[in-house]
Structure 1
Amino acid sequence: MLPSRDPHDRPAELAVLADADRRAQDYVAAIGSRPVYPSVHAREALSGFDEELSAAGHDERSTIALLDELGSAAAVESNGARYFGFVVGATLPVAAAADRLVLAWDNTASTPLGSPATSAIEAIAARWVVEVLDLPRDSAVGFSTSAGAGTVAILATARQHVLAQLGWDVARRGLTGAPPVRVVASELAHVVVRKALRVLGFGSDLVEWVRTDEYGRIDPDALPAVDASTIVILQAGEVNTGEFDPFEPIMQKVRASAGWIHVDGAFGLWARASRLRPLTDGIDRADSWTVDGHKWLNTPYDSAVSIVRNRDAANAALHSDATYAPSTDDAQKNLTLEFSRRARGIPIWAALRTLGRDGVAELVENSTATATRIADGLRGAGYTVLNRVVLNQVLARAGSAEETARIVAAAQASGHTWFGATVWRGEPAFRISVSSWRTRAEDADALVELLAGLARA
């Protein structure tokens, strides 16, 4: 059913938007009062969405009501203070508000022609990102859906650049008959890096996976000799331990000879904007970096950044001008995978403008201090903490694999928190990620009290 037979019926249009906004505000107002993970009953009620597609359609208000009444009840409260899963930050109010306003604009954010507003604001956001992370100021900055999508774009750029240096134009000649390109990466590389390599045709059996130390960092002594045909992939923030590869010694060993060095910094790169910056020493000597906004910057999901030192290389690989949509080299469609795109950089702009440098640092430092508090509490409750807690990750296990699994399941079912199970060095463990601006010391203490009780049980 069309919203209105009269396209000028603004009251009807505004009424449905106001209804949705009221329901959204009610949801936010109730954060902290509902289970962190939805109940079995709420999840079973999702069957109410399983309707036949009707011929005539339904009333707009009934659609929004169904979405709220069944969907909100079964949503995970990842926007709350006691969600510790998947390194997800609760969306800052200003970032959520900016996203809603941009949605009302309904502009394509591919080029300045499509939207002068989004283009101008994302350009400022790009400048601020490299400033707050203290990366090369003339880098190309793309706002993509995720660090995963950004990694695909960057590794495609890296391969094209490496082959160009070897005298092969992959954009014109393709890959058939091209010189081989080597990839050297951590044995603990994140799954999105592995996926990007697979999508781009780098066979996993051909990747040179490098041994890591007890903390999950690349062992510089285990690095193979590299040359101009080699892409080296490093990590800022190992997904379980939060550790950083030792960038300075690695750079001393491979920087002069490697064809390209990329740093996967989905959440760890934000440490560079805080007192934890020494963990990132040497990282600025890489060729490219990825980082998520929806992690530590606490923007909505679908908000990430890919940064490439060599603007010409990024543009050569990702340029997508068309005769009907010409643009500048720094248009977002020429720096990301997406042609049709929303303005993902605007929530990042809103967060950075509102937080400032000090606010970003406070986010990172408070999360790290809270993670340390949780780790200390878990040790006191008899758990084994498996990492050094250098950042916002707490990796722990109970006395046995069975006990660990029981406690994780009980905590997830409690409704009082949510965090996930993992495997570390072949043994079950659990991972607590502190990323939300809402999380305070009392939330950490409540988590420790819950887990201490489950251990005693």
Structure 2
Amino acid sequence: MKHAPAPVQEAAASVLDHAAFHARRYRNGRPPLHPSADAEELRRLFDRGLPEQGRDPFDVIDDLVNAAEPGLVGNTQAGFFAWVMGGSHPAGVAADWLTSAWGQNAAIHQCSPAAATAEEVAAKWLLELLDLPRESSVGFTTGATMAGFICLAAARGEVLRRLGFDLDEAGLQDVPRVNIFISEEAHASNFAVLRYLGFGERNFVRIPTDDQGVLDHAALAAALKRETGPGIIVCQAGHINSGAFDPFEPLADLAARHGSWLHIDGAFGLWARTVPEMKAQCRGVERAHSWAVDGHKWLQVPYDSGFAIVRDADAHRRAMDITAGYLSHDAQDGRNPTHFGPELSRRARGFAVWAMLQALGRQGIAEMVRSHHQCARAIAEHLADTPGIRVENAVCLNQVVLSFHGESATGSASGHHADAVAAALNETGRFFFRTADWRGRRVLRVSVIGHATDVASAISAAEAIEAAWKKIAC
């Protein structure tokens, strides 16, 4: 359809209203949890050909909506339990809309004083909320993967600097060996970013874990005695499957004794520090040297959002700083965001973070984490006595791991039961589940993380799991 021409500013406002209409319709309705189109159909919808002439922006937005919606996943809804992905709170979405409309590049203070100051203030609040050392620096980035990259880049430079090796001057040629002491069950992103930083398998000293994925600190102590040279210890707050926490107090003691850098992957588990009765699980976290955490998980900021937090701000800045004559800086300027991350052209992520910290407040965030823990416990308790279903983890946060045992009606092996249960649940259209392989078992992973999920919806999911299993096992 064609629209009458209008002055540029009026047309721009109108197309923004048009996009907002589609966004409101999507969020206020009940969109499908699962994509309705396969890859071939989505390619057909998107690949309209590159036009010679520009098109009416209203038609473009309509075509984008028509092409995208059949391929969207409903992770903003209460029935989404597949991965640890937040649900994009409306206040964060609204702030993110404004961020796009304002069109700021948040690289340096002078590019956008508002963006730089929003990050500066939000960083201060994050340190208060997570109760981490207040002198720490915070880099606003895409998520915990890039946050880990930033933190471990600071770690690499600092442990080498302590040996008298100037990485900035010498590069990676003839660099002393750095040992990376890392859990066998560390999140895959940690191994990825370490490789991005030039570390390989010979650097990795893999530390065994218990049946919950918790790092064996006695094995780490033995490895630290055995290996020579500088070390970086990577541990986690919130195991990706079980939700378990590594023993941070003894790990911090070991790091201090051996002069090693202690980094914590706290993508979602670090938010447990906001809940007074759950904070004990994170005791000792504050003694680490760096922390990676997501904002698009329990802070419910729209994708993408993550925080690289480093106790030694100088080490952080040495690893990330970008300087040039044309990157203006005056004495009265505030914080330059590009000192703490690798992007010179980047989104103003601090606006949405600032908005969500204000919208939820300390108590709102704590209540959400507490509620999701209650949801996970409700699911586990409901299913604990169901014949053939085993809860594989001690539910300490928001994760439930389920395995299924026994002959099915079709005689299929128990290894396929989790897949069959997930398929049955997904076919209802009420839920979105995925399976995983963990410790030699095929399991159904239940992750409670979206702000829309409450105890009632969690119990509904547990009842559906039980019913699906009984039908398969009958």
Q: TM-score, normalised on structure 2?
A: 0.92
Contact 1:110–1:339 (CA under 8 A) maintained in structure 2: yes
Q: Which runs of 5+ in 1 are unaligned?
A: none
> Counterpart in 2 of 1:283?
285
Q: 1:212-259 CA deviation, whole Å, 9 max, x = no partner?
A: 012110111111126661011110000000000011122223323233
Contact (CA 8 Å) 1:42, 1:70: kept in 2 or not? no
Tell me which residue corresponds to 2:310: 308
Matches within 5 A, 1:41-190: 44=41, 47-190=44-187
The Cα shift of 1:45 comes to 5.3
Give me the whole-angstrom Cα distance separating, in 2, the residues matched to 1:294 and 1:132.
16
Aligned to 2:408: none
Q: Name the amino acid aligned to 1:442.
A: A
In the other structure, the counterpart of 1:264 is: 265
Q: Deviations over 1:173-202 (max 9, x none)?
A: 111112111110100010110100111121
Secondary structure (helix, strand or coil) at the match of 2:218 reads: helix
**For residues 256 and 209 of structure 2, what CA distance do their matches in structure 1 show?**
19
Amino acid of the residue matched to residue 69 of structure 2?
Answer: S
Q: Distance in 1 between matches of 2:38 and 2:246?
A: 44
Quote how far apart the aligned CAs of 1:454 are: 1.2
The 8 Å contact of residues 300 and 451 in structure 2, kept in 1 or not, is answered as yes
How do residues 203-242 of structure 1 correspond to structure 2 at under 5 angstroms?
Answer: 203-223=200-220, 224-225=223-224, 229-242=230-243
Match of 2:346 in 1: 341
Tell me the distance in 1 between the aligned counterparts of 2:301 and 2:125. 15
Q: Secondary structure at the match of 1:255?
A: helix
Which is further off, 435-444 or 15-24?
Answer: 435-444
| Sequence identity percentage | 37
Q: Which of 323-332 and 34-43 deviates more?
A: 34-43
Contact 2:86–2:296, Cα closer than 8 Å, also in 1: yes
- 1:252 to 2:253 alignment: yes
Q: Mean alpha-carbon deviation: is it higher for 36-45 or for 110-119?
A: 36-45
8 Å Cα contact 1:37-1:413 kept in structure 2: no
Cα pair 2:217 2:251 within 8 Å, conserved: yes
Deviation at 1:330, TM superposition (A): 4.1
Partner of 2:415: 401
Residue 191 of structure 1: aligned partner: 188
1:5-58 residue CA offsets vs partner (Å, 9 max, x unmatched): 99x52111111111000010000110xx33211235798355221222121132
CA contact (8 A) 1:370 1:444 kept: yes
Cα distance, 1:206 vs. partner? 3.0
Q: Is the 1:90–1:438 contact (alpha carbons within 8 Å) kept by the matching residues of 2?
A: yes
Q: Give distance in 1, aligned partners of 2:145 and 2:352.
A: 19
- Kept in 1: contact 2:177–2:203 (CA 8 A): no
| Alpha carbons 2:179, 2:229 under 8 Å: kept | no
CA contact (8 A) 2:374 2:455 kept: no
1:299-448 alignment, distance < 5 Å: 299-327=301-329, 330-382=335-387, 383-399=389-405, 400-448=414-462
- In the alignment, is the contact (CA less than 8 A) between 1:149 and 1:337 conserved in 2? no
Write the letter of the residue equivalent to 2:450: S
Structure 1 residues 41, 304: closer, same or farther in 2, change over 3 A? Answer: closer
CA–CA distance in structure 2, aligned partners of residues 138 and 39 of structure 1: 49
Structure 1 length-normalised TM: 0.95
Counterpart CA distance in 1 for 2:157 and 2:320 is: 10
Kindly provide the amino acid, as one letter, of the partner of residue 143 in structure 1.
Answer: F
Structure 1 position 452 matched with structure 2 position 466:
yes
What residue is the counterpart of 2:410 in the other structure? none
Q: CA 1:142/1:4 → structure 2, altered by over 3 Å: closer, same or farther?
A: farther
Q: Following TM superposition, where does structure 1 have runs of at least 4 consecutive aligned residues deviating by more than 4 angstroms?
A: 3-6, 40-43
Determine if contact 1:164/1:170 at 8 Å carries over to the other structure: yes
Aligned counterparts of 1:42 and 1:333: Cα–Cα separation in 2: 37
Closer, same or farther: CA 259–250 of 1 in aligned 2, 3 Å = closer
Q: C-alpha root-mean-square deviation of aligned residues, in Å? A: 1.9
Contact 2:274 2:366 in 1 (8 A): yes
Question: Residue 353 of structure 1 aligns to which amino acid in structure 2?
Answer: Q
Cα distance, 1:379 vs structure 2:
2.1
Q: Which runs of 5+ in 2 are unaligned?
A: 406-413
Indicate if the aligned counterparts of 2:255 and 2:261 stay in contact, CA closer than 8 A: no
Question: C-alpha distance in 1, partners of 2:453/2:106?
Answer: 33
User: What amino acid does structure 1 have at the position aligned with 2:268?
Assistant: F
Q: Distance in 2 between matches of 1:238 and 1:369?
A: 18
Change over 3 Å in CA distance of 1:211–1:79 after alignment to 2: same
Q: Number of paired residues? A: 452
**Aligned amino acid, residue 133 of structure 1:** L
> Is the 1:186–1:211 Cα contact (8 Å) retained in structure 2?
yes
Structure 1, residues 363-415: CA drift from partner, whole Å, max 9, x if none?
Answer: 11000000100111222433111000100000111111111111112223331
